[in-house]
Amino acid sequence: GRALAAGVAMVAVGTQRDTSAAAVDLAEKYEGVFACVGLHPIHTSRSFHDREELGGSGGEFTSRGEEFDHEYYKKLASHPKVVAIGECGLDYYRHDANRRTAGASGGDDVNVKKQVEAFKRQIELAVEVKKPLMLHLRNGPGRSAYRDAFSIIDSCFKLDTSYPRGNLHFFAGSIEEVKPFLDLGFSFSFTGVITFARNYDEIIRYLPPERIMSETDCPYVAPAPYRGRRNEPLYVREVARMIAEIRGADFGKIRAALLDNAVRFFGFNFR
């Protein structure tokens, strides 16, 4: 709609079977839409997710408890407009709460094991189909999803420099958590949060410009001046504008660099 009319291409991101298939359908229907397919870590176990966890946007929901089906996702990933595998990764946001409610049953440990197993299988798929990973990593109290994911990737991912290896979507880690992924050749994307929170300024200045991408994560976290509204892809311009401001760079040059980074990472064929 509005984004495509304004010349903003977009990536529709799957989080489980149905939404991954829907992302491919959208990519087939619209020239400027591409797709990621994968199993989000919160959908590896059945659990409730409220508005606080979702950043105050969108409705509450109960996740699926889906097992990763390699052949199903491989078939989706073979589509020429599928540009990455994901969102996949580790989400520890509810880790401590789940552990308290799990009690002696060890339910939370089982949930984490399911996340790890699905993550490893999606790494294998990414290597097989030669498409990059779109990572979802969210820390929990006293537990770093970034550290654990790096350890998994470092041990699983076969080195192949013929394609970009991964992007840390909605990066919310520290500089210390940035460095290992930089060494792996990964990139980092930032959302509208950077327009109203200063937590990420140091990291955005620290990163090499060719490793930065912008995103919306719509319908969540609309950037200033649209806070409180439903986010949409067109608002990615505000994220790019803030990246330029933080880095003290010309907006036009930053916008061009971000586009180049996305084209190189995803292998877009519209230019």
The model's pLDDT over 94-130, given as tens digits with 9 standing for 90+, comes to 765 455 444 333 456 889 999 999 999 999 999 999 9
Residue-wise burial string across 29-39, b where 16 or more C-beta atoms lie within 10 A, e elsewhere: ebeebbbbbbb
Strands (E), the chain: 10-13, 33-37, 48-49, 61-62, 82-91, 133-138, 166-168, 187-190, 212-214
Question: What mean pLDDT, rounded, does the chain reach?
Answer: 89
Query: Predicted confidence band at 160 (pLDDT cuts at 50, 70, 90)?
Result: low
Query: Predicted confidence band at 7 (pLDDT cuts at 50, 70, 90)?
Result: confident
Per-residue pLDDT at 91 exceeds 70: yes
Domains present along the chain, CATH in parentheses: 2-266 (3.20.20.140)
The model's pLDDT over 19-29, given as tens digits with 9 standing for 90+, comes to 999 999 999 99
CA distance linking residue 238 with residue 221, whole number of Å: 12
Residues 6+ apart with CB under 8 A from 239: 190, 191, 192, 194, 195, 214, 215, 216, 223
